[in-house]
Amino acid sequence: MYVLEAAQYQRLTVAAAGGLHASGLRPGDRVALVTPEHRFPAEEAAYLQACVIAVTAAALRTGITPVPINPLLTGPERSHIVTDSGATVVISESAHLQSLVTHAGPPPELADWPLGRPMHYTSGTTGRPKGVFTQGIGEDLTAALWRDELDQWGFTSSDVTLVHGPLCHAAPLRYAMLVLHAGGTAVLPGVFDAPAIAAALRDHRPTHAFLVPSHLQRLFGLDLPPSPYRLVTHAGAAIPPQLKRRLHDWAGVDSVWEFYGSTEGQFTVCSAAEWEQRPGTVGRARIGRTLEVRDGVIWCHTPDFARFEYWNDPVKTAAAWDGDAFSVGDLGRLDDGYLYLEGRREDLIISGGVNVYPAEVEAALAECPGVQEVAAFGREDEHWGQRVCVVYSGSATPQAVGQWAREHLAAYKRPKEIDHMDALPHNASGKVERLQLALGVAR
């Protein structure tokens, strides 16, 4: 574990601002940042996580757009993000990260608040991930954006957040920055390890954690100490009712909050007490927002500070917005203002709290020699929530398809089940019947 306190965070951020400037980066540029999880021993990765947070903050406060990249991505997947984002600098090595936060030269001027959010890439509804860009909204609105989060969760200098998820994902990075900006402390594990997290509960007495259900599944298999948290936030995947109630029993209904959001923006919050009264809901609209469901699709009317665009994709951006409302295509219903999800984005697979889009998996596997047609879908999984499965037609063997997946897809996107069919089923419009495959293909 590495403990990053606010004063050190500020020093590292100022130094990193100078380091980025010395690297030739200027306002409006993009810098790609491959996060350290899974690539270094836990102790080294924990310190490098502190460096990532400081470099991200330094970039945002000097008008540079940081582009976090998942270290589990393959070379081609990583190259797509670097190329598409137009990043002129790629930070992937330990020495490079550490040199930035120890830079001794004079820094450029830093804004008081981060100017927007990092440009995280969505998992790719059309087979190619797209960056979610927010830095075009201006300094005043980005200050309001970050204050909105601080006000929602009430972070102060007395808070200690225990980071569970990798910093390439939006929520773990955002929460760490929020607490540190408020003057608090971040406890960084390097990589999620359930026994180490359990020990940190005793040793560091954190007041906050953001988790996904798969974290809870692994933690509740241990002998945990009493919860030290004043606030536990969770999201990222549907949570089994029995697991949620166990979390409520352990942390207390006054401390647990669920939220529903996406890389693009936030929709709802839900206290544990509200959920107990209305099991299955993901809550009501966040402050300053209103929800609408049109033909089953969820739309969120947002403040100006929540505007975003898809990088280099004005068509997709226009489709996501209708006036001051945006949608990511999720399905749901409203009952007295409370939202209930009835389906994620079309055919979306959520495995271990991470979004996997079938189109992206299919695009990679369609290039495999001997694959004629391929369909990817999710099946329920006791441990991960869902697992990725594929069915394909063609002359390739399942072993060849599996090897191709290992070479071209990150581990969390690789199919756990691979089946061959002479021909895939299609509906009247010619689309592959993924649901039929998910329900009807025997192992």
Whether residue 65 contacts residue 402, with contact meaning beta carbons closer than 8 Å, is answered with no
What is the structure's pLDDT at 443? 39
Q: 322 and 219: one domain?
A: yes
Q: 376 and 273: one domain?
A: no
Q: 65 and 182: one domain?
A: yes
Number of domains making up the chain: 2
Structure tokens that stand for 242 in this block: 């029995």
Distances (CA, A) of 383 to 63, 126, 348, 424: 41, 27, 18, 28
Q: Provide the CB-side half-sphere exposure for 153 (13 A, CA).
A: 31
Q: 315 and 361: one domain?
A: no
Return the CATH number at 254. 3.40.50.12780
Q: 165 and 249: one domain?
A: yes
* Domain range for 116: 2-343
Q: 397 and 411: one domain?
A: yes
Q: What is the rounded CA–CA span in Å between residue 196 and residue 198?
A: 5
pLDDT, averaged per 10 consecutive residues of the chain (443 residues), comes to 98 98 96 94 96 98 96 91 97 97 94 95 73 88 93 97 94 97 98 96 98 89 96 85 93 97 94 95 96 94 95 94 95 94 74 83 89 89 88 95 95 94 74 76 42
Whether residue 291 contacts residue 270, with contact meaning beta carbons closer than 8 Å, is answered with no
For residue 21, the surrounding DSSP H or E stretch is: helix 6-22
Q: Of 154, 175, 169, 152, nearest to 284 (Cα)?
A: 152
- Picking from 296, 320, 343, the residue at the C-terminal end of a domain is 343
Structure tokens that stand for 15 in this block: 């130094």
What is the structure's pLDDT at 104? 94
Q: What is the rounded CA–CA span in Å between residue 209 and residue 230?
A: 9
SS3 219: helix
Task: Name the β-bridge partners of 379.
Answer: 387
Q: 121 and 242: one domain?
A: yes
Classify 98 in phi/psi space as left (phi over 0), alpha (psi -120 to 50) or beta. Answer: alpha
Tokens 């909204």: give the residue: 137
Q: What is the DSSP letter of 384?
A: T
Exposure class string for 345-366: b at 16+ Cβ within 10 A, else e: bebbbbbbbbbbbbbbbbbbbe
Q: What is the rounded CA–CA span in Å between residue 25 and residue 34?
A: 17
Based on its alpha-carbon atoms, the radius of gyration of the chain, rounded to whole angstroms, reads 22
Exposure class string for 417-438: b at 16+ Cβ within 10 A, else e: ebbeeeebeeeeeeebebeebb
Q: 325 and 421: one domain?
A: no
By DSSP bridging, strand 284-285 and strand 30-34 are unpaired
Structure tokens that stand for 321 in this block: 């917005």
What is the structure's pLDDT at 346? 62
| 298-302 own/partner pairs: CB under 8 Å, 24+ apart | 298/267, 298/327, 298/328, 298/330, 298/331, 298/332, 298/339, 298/341, 299/325, 299/326, 299/327, 300/265, 300/267, 300/325, 300/326, 300/327, 301/325, 302/265, 302/326
Q: 337 and 359: one domain?
A: no
Classify 340 in phi/psi space as left (phi over 0), alpha (psi -120 to 50) or beta. Answer: beta
pLDDT tens, position by position, 44-97: 999 999 999 999 999 999 999 999 999 989 899 999 999 999 999 999 999 999
- Picking from 310, 343, 376, the residue at the C-terminal end of a domain is 343
- Picking from 343, 375, 405, the residue at the C-terminal end of a domain is 343
Distances (CA, A) of 319 to 224, 234, 249, 314: 46, 29, 42, 9
Backbone angles phi, psi at 74, to 5 degrees: -75, 170
Q: 375 and 333: one domain?
A: no
What is the structure's pLDDT at 126? 57
Return the CATH number at 381. 3.30.300.30
Q: What is the rounded CA–CA span in Å between residue 81 and residue 410?
A: 14
Q: What is the rounded CA–CA span in Å between residue 221 and residue 244?
A: 14
Task: Name the β-bridge partners of 350.
Answer: 355
Contact residues for 186 (Cβ-Cβ < 8 A; gap 6+): 3, 4, 9, 50, 53, 160, 161, 163, 176, 179, 180
Q: 360 and 220: one domain?
A: no
Hey, CA dihedral for 252, 255, 261, 264, is it positive or negative?
negative
Q: 33 and 151: one domain?
A: yes
